[in-house]
Amino acid sequence: MTTTALSAISPEDAWMDYDEAMDLFDVVIGLEVHVELNTASKMFCSCPTDFGAEPNTQTCPVCLGLPGSLPVVNGKAVESAIRIGLALNCSISPHCRFARKNYFYPDMTKNFQTSQYDEPICFDGEVEVEADGERFTIPVERAHMEEDAGKSLHVGGATGRIQGAEYSLMDYNRAGVPLVEIVTKPVLGTGAKAPQVARAYVAFLRDMMRALGVSDVRMEQGSLRCDANVSLMPKGSTTLGTRTETKNVNSLRSIERALRYEISRQAGILAAGGRVKQETRHWHEDGGRTSSGRSKEQAEDYRYFPEPDLVPVAPDPAWVERLRETIPESPVARVARLTEAWGFTELEMRDVIGADALDLIEATVEAGCSPQAARKWWMGELARRANAADLPLAEAGMTPAQVAELQGLVEAGTLNDKLARQVIDGVIAGEGDPAQVVAHRGLAVVSDTGALQAAVERAIAANPGAVASIKAGRQAAAGAIIGAVMKEMRGQADAATVRELVLAAVG
């Protein structure tokens, strides 16, 4: 923890340094991840699911829960749920039902959410993730289908929360959008790496969902949402401690930070002889801390019962087997395969993954670039520009095909590194592909020896002092003449060639 994060801790929070907490306690984490499916229509009606539409333009009697309306299960959503389960190595239930989860809240006008309760479609899976060079197995309890709720917008308060708001607006476009909720079993044995393991697991889910093509998995838009449970037990104990659930942590980095914070907070309370309250907590990205939310000391009774308006889901085993063949390679296996194929070190690969450059480099290599050159551009020049503009690397302004083309021009001798950077400027500015920018800006390296020779002669005539030094044996003095030539050629000459010409002319 940095000192800034420490200063943000509210005085009522006890606190223990993370490393000290690791000496005294074992960490148990549990992750609940909601994945919004990218089906064209909603879970139980034919309303569209496009993100960002005008509020309440994508609704109908079914997703508004009007009396007498009848839901119909979206077959594509069931297919996606099964494929997700298979990718998590789950068993697929041959027969399962939906259930009503009864609660009253304005974001769900039916007064119940159609979900699955004791009969999830996918159960008992496990996945392997890699965190900080070490592999961990995450046991998956279940993955079930349900529908999303609407969105409330609380207006007039300082925080955007309902407390202090003057009024609230409701948008039901999201109500009924299909979700798959993936729940882990308690994850033990991750030691001090618990926050990194949690992050790696959610990154695994994001990459896997993307590879399956079942979700946009955009955490910032809420199509992948993570609730992180954590509890501590004294070293050597086997009794699970009281857990807290930190809600809607919406970036990979936040997951790691929020868990670290909660571990230090809980350890401080326990070490001072206090009791951790069972509650939901909210993560504050800006302050780097969590704050108390709803108490969960009394379990809510949702009065679940099987949904009478929907027939059970009974996927044909032959269909499930066909779907199994569509499951992509796991991210851990893919990373191992690419590390070897590209000849990267593990450290290089870890940096690539950390920078979210794996897909980009793979696509660049597929477009004909060498792996090392693809890594150089994405992790160097383009990462720098993306950081400066505060954009994800994929939105830095160049496509993998353009990077491969740029490298092709460098290898053909048309561009040196300096000119290549100017070409990147042009591509990002929207001037077209690299070859078009070279033509348009006149950036190619000058290979016309006649023009170079003339420039060299002019530079020699203008720098008699440097010439005298070279003749006296101080070849370093050639730098001034080379610099003058490069300047005249506006950087578009090959420096090594210029050096040869200068030394030949003087000598």
Where on the chain is the footprint of Zn ion (CB under 5 A)?
A: 45, 47, 60, 62-63
Q: How far is the CB of 51 from Zn ion (least distance, A)?
A: 16
Closest CB to Zn ion among residues 59, 330: 59
- The set of residues, in sequence order, having a beta carbon less than 8 Å from that of 66 and lying 6+ positions away, is none
What minimum distance in Å lies between the beta carbon of 64 and Zn ion? 7
φ and ψ at residue 85, rounded to 5 degrees: -60, -45
Whichever of 109 and 278 has its CB closer to Zn ion, that residue is 109
Tell me the Ramachandran region of residue 356: left when phi exceeds 0, alpha when psi lies from -120 to 50, beta otherwise.
left
Nearest distance from residue 69's CB to Zn ion, in Å? 9
Q: Which is nearer to Zn ion, 64 or 353 (CB)?
A: 64
Phi-psi region of 19 (alpha: psi -120 to 50; beta: other; left: phi over 0): alpha
CB of 84 to Zn ion, least distance (A): 23
Long-range contacts of 192-196 (CB under 8 A, 24+ apart): 192/18, 192/19, 192/22, 192/27, 193/131, 193/132, 193/134, 193/136, 194/27, 194/29, 194/230, 194/259, 194/263, 195/255, 195/256, 195/257, 195/259, 195/260, 195/263, 196/131, 196/132, 196/256
Closer Cβ to Zn ion, 147 or 256, answer by number? 147
Shortest separation between residue 59's beta carbon and Zn ion, angstroms:
5
Which CB sits closer to Zn ion, 63 or 214?
Answer: 63
Read off the amino acid at residue 295. S
* C-beta closer to Zn ion: residue 63 or 205: 63
Bridge partners (DSSP) of residue 123 are 91, 142
CB of residue 192 to Zn ion, shortest distance in Å:
47
CB of 416 to Zn ion, least distance (A): 59
- Tell me the two tokens of residue 237: 């104990």
Q: For residue 350, what is the enclosing H or E element? A: helix 346-354
As a three-state string, the secondary structure of 57-122 is CCCCCCCCCCCCCCCCCCHHHHHHHHHHHHHCCCEECCCECCEEEECCCCCCCCCEEEECCCCCCE
Whichever of 67 and 273 has its CB closer to Zn ion, that residue is: 67
47 or 258: CB nearest Zn ion: 47
Backbone angles phi, psi at 268, to 5 degrees: -60, -45
Cα torsion 321, 326, 329, 331 to 10°: value is -110
By C-beta, is 47 or 259 nearer to Zn ion?
A: 47
The minimum distance between CB 306 and Zn ion, in angstroms, equals 22
Structure tokens at 78: 């069931």
Q: How far is the CB of 60 from Zn ion (least distance, A)?
A: 3
* Strand duo 91-92 + 167-171: pairing: unpaired
Phi-psi region of 176 (alpha: psi -120 to 50; beta: other; left: phi over 0): left
Q: Which is nearer to Zn ion, 47 or 194 (by Cβ)?
A: 47
Task: Compute the least distance from the CB of residue 294 to Zn ion, in Å.
Answer: 29
